[in-house]
A and B are shown apart, each in its own frame.
Chain A
Amino acid sequence: MEDVATLGFIATTIGATWRLATPLIFASIGEVFSERAGVLNIGLEGVMLMGAFVGFAAVFATGSLPLGLLSAVLGGMAVGLVFAFFTITVKADQIVVGAAINLLGMGLTAFLFRTYYVGTGRGVEIAQPLDLPGLSDLPFLGEALFRQNAIVYSTLLVVLVAVFVLYKTSFGLTLRAVGEHPKAVDVVGRSVAAYRYGAVLIGTGLAGLGGGFLTLGHSNQFVEGITSGRGFIALAVVVFARWSPIGAFLVSLLFGLFYALQLQLQAQPALAIPYQALQALPYVMTIVALVMVRNKGDTPKTLGVPYNKA
Chain B
Amino acid sequence: MTRFLIRTAQAIAMPAAAVLVALASGAVLLALSGFNGWDVFDVMLVGVFSDTRSVAEILLKAIPLILIGVGLCVAFRCSIWNIGAEGQLYAGAVAATVVGVSFEGLTPWLYVPLVMIAGALAGAAWAGIAGLLKVYFRASEIVTTIMLNYIALISTSYLVTGPLKDAAAAYPQSARLFKEAWMPRILPPTRLHIGILVAIALAIAFYVFLFRSSAGFAVRVVGTNQHAARYAGMNVGRNVLLAICISGAMAGLAGAFEVAGVTHRLYQNISPGYGFEGIAVALLANNNPFGAIFSGILFAVLRSGSELMQITAQVPQVLVSVIQGMVILSVVAFGVYRFRSAIHPK
**Residue positions of A touching B, CB distance < 8 A:** 40, 42, 82, 86, 90, 92-97, 99-104, 106-108, 110-112, 114-116, 224, 229, 232-233, 235-236, 239, 274, 276-277, 279-280, 283-284, 286-287, 290-291, 294-295, 299, 303-306
User: Whole-angstrom distance from the CB of A178 to the nearest CB of chain B?
Assistant: 16
**B341 lies within 8 A of A93 (CB):** yes
- Max chain A CB contacts within 10 Å: which of B34, B81, B328? B328
Q: Closest B-chain residue to A291, C-beta based?
A: B137
**B345 lies within 8 A of A295 (CB):** yes
**Residue positions of B touching A, CB distance < 8 A:** 29, 33-34, 81, 83, 133, 137-140, 142-144, 146-148, 150-151, 154-155, 157-158, 162, 276, 279-280, 283, 316, 318-326, 328-329, 332-333, 337, 339-345
Known: A40-B343, A284-B147, A291-B133. A96 touches B328 (CB 8 A): yes
User: Whole-angstrom distance from the CB of B288 to the nearest CB of chain A?
Assistant: 15
Q: Which residues of B contact A115 (CB under 8 A)?
A: 33-34, 316
**A95 lies within 8 A of B343 (CB):** yes
Rounded to whole angstroms, the CA-CA distance of A11 and B81 in the bound complex is 41
User: Whole-angstrom distance from the CB of B298 to the nearest CB of chain A?
Assistant: 16
**A286 lies within 8 A of B321 (CB):** no
Q: Which residues of A contact B158 (CB under 8 A)?
A: 274, 276-277
Q: Determine which of B150, B151, B332 lies in contact with A90 in the assembled complex, contact meaning CB atoms within 8 Å.
A: B332
- Max chain A CB contacts within 10 Å: which of B34, B320, B337, B341? B341
Q: Which residues of A contact B341 (CB under 8 A)?
A: 93-95, 304-306
Known: A115-B33, A283-B150. A232 touches B143 (CB 8 A): yes
**A232 lies within 8 A of B147 (CB):** yes
Rounded to whole angstroms, the CA-CA distance of A235 and B143 in the bound complex is 7
Known: A93-B339, A103-B321. 20 other contacts (CB 8 A): A86-B332, A93-B337, A94-B343, A96-B283, A96-B339, A97-B329, A99-B279, A99-B328, A100-B326, A100-B328, A103-B325, A108-B29, A229-B146, A229-B147, A276-B157, A276-B158, A277-B158, A280-B150, A287-B133, A305-B344
Rounded to whole angstroms, the CA-CA distance of A303 and B342 in the bound complex is 10
Known: A40-B343, A110-B316, A283-B150. A104 touches B322 (CB 8 A): yes
Known: A276-B154, A305-B341. A97 touches B332 (CB 8 A): yes
**A290 lies within 8 A of B139 (CB):** yes
Q: Closest B-chain residue to A114, C-beta based?
A: B316
Q: Is the interface of A mostly helix, strand, loop or mixed?
A: helix
**A111 lies within 8 A of B316 (CB):** yes
User: Whole-angstrom distance from the CB of B1 to the nearest CB of chain A?
Assistant: 33
Q: Which residues of A contact B83 (CB under 8 A)?
A: 42, 99
Q: Which residues of B contact A306 (CB under 8 A)?
A: 341
Rounded to whole angstroms, the CA-CA distance of A295 and B83 in the bound complex is 20
Rounded to whole angstroms, the CA-CA distance of A283 and B154 in the bound complex is 10
**A110 lies within 8 A of B157 (CB):** no
Q: Which residues of B contact A294 (CB under 8 A)?
A: 137-139
Q: Closest B-chain residue to A286, C-beta based?
A: B147
Q: Which residues of A contact B154 (CB under 8 A)?
A: 276, 279-280, 283
**B146 lies within 8 A of A232 (CB):** yes
User: Whole-angstrom distance from the CB of B97 to the nearest CB of chain A?
Assistant: 17
Could you show 19 A-B contacts with beta carbons less than 8 Å apart?
A86-B329, A95-B142, A97-B329, A100-B280, A100-B326, A100-B329, A103-B322, A106-B318, A107-B318, A107-B322, A111-B318, A111-B322, A274-B162, A283-B148, A284-B151, A286-B143, A290-B143, A295-B137, A299-B344
Q: Which residues of A contact B316 (CB under 8 A)?
A: 110-111, 114-115
**B343 lies within 8 A of A304 (CB):** yes
Q: Which residues of B contact A111 (CB under 8 A)?
A: 29, 33, 316, 318-319, 321-322
**B147 lies within 8 A of A104 (CB):** no
Rounded to whole angstroms, the CA-CA distance of A99 and B154 in the bound complex is 22
Q: Determine which of A100, A236, A279, A305 lies in contact with B325 in the assembled complex, contact meaning CB atoms within 8 Å.
A: A100
Q: Closest B-chain residue to A116, C-beta based?
A: B33
